[in-house]
Structure 1
Amino acid sequence: MASHDVFLADCPARTTLGLVADTWSVVVVFGLGRGPQRYSDLRDRIGGISNKMLTQTLRKLERGNLVERRTIPAAPAGVEYRLTGLGESLLGPVSVLARWAEEHAAELGGGGDGGSL
């Protein structure tokens, strides 16, 4: 295993953190943890995300080999997204972070209505 130091400007781990450590990436990965989903179902599941932001996030995660895009030939035709093996390995840490955020939202000034992601 390579030794990385996130405090160094050229550390590859920083690029990785940049890929997965923003709000929408975390929510999309968490949302795809239930299994493959059509774009519209994922958009409907994630409150407050615009079509543009969801598309950008999915493309970014796809470039990072965390998400796969598959065309569905059945009627109605569409696109389905699912986590890759690498994306599934991120699901554990993302789930822990999401649950922590839900539990501590009120303490952090984020409201915290007890709802879940």
Structure 2
Amino acid sequence: MKEYYPPPTPHEHDIEKMSNRITNARIEELEKLKERKDELKEKIKEKKDKMKEIRDAMERGDTADMILSSSAAALNKRGKETSNLTNEDLLEIQEMAIERLEEQFSKVEEELKQLKDMESS
């Protein structure tokens, strides 16, 4: 004789739907965090590349105005003063931007870890 399994009650069905929504929301959040992590990684790389360009320019003896030549040219064209930034200022600006991006990167990594821990428990 076959065993009889009663159809799920509406309550059980609702719980299953809610569970699926929660799972889907977690997956979506996980994907967004992964995308954010990749974006931050790329921005950090860009800033480090810019720092290398600045250091290379400094070794060649270029000034900050030369390094920022495109923006300096635009300011000159409009009759405005160019920047008074030094090469060290440019490096410091890049370092601060990298630190800020790395902090954001660490936070995203921590959120990802917490989400993965929730999934495995």
Task: With a CA cutoff of 8 Å and minimum separation of 6, indicate the structure with the bigger relative contact order.
Answer: 2
Q: Same fold (TM over 0.5)?
A: no
Aligning the two structures, in what range does the TM-score lie when normalised by the shorter sequence? under 0.3
Q: What TM-score comes out, normalization by structure 2 length? A: 0.24
Q: What TM-score comes out, normalization by structure 1 length? A: 0.24
Q: Which has the higher strand share?
A: 1
Q: Which has the higher helix share?
A: 2
Return the index of the structure with the highest Cα Rg: 2
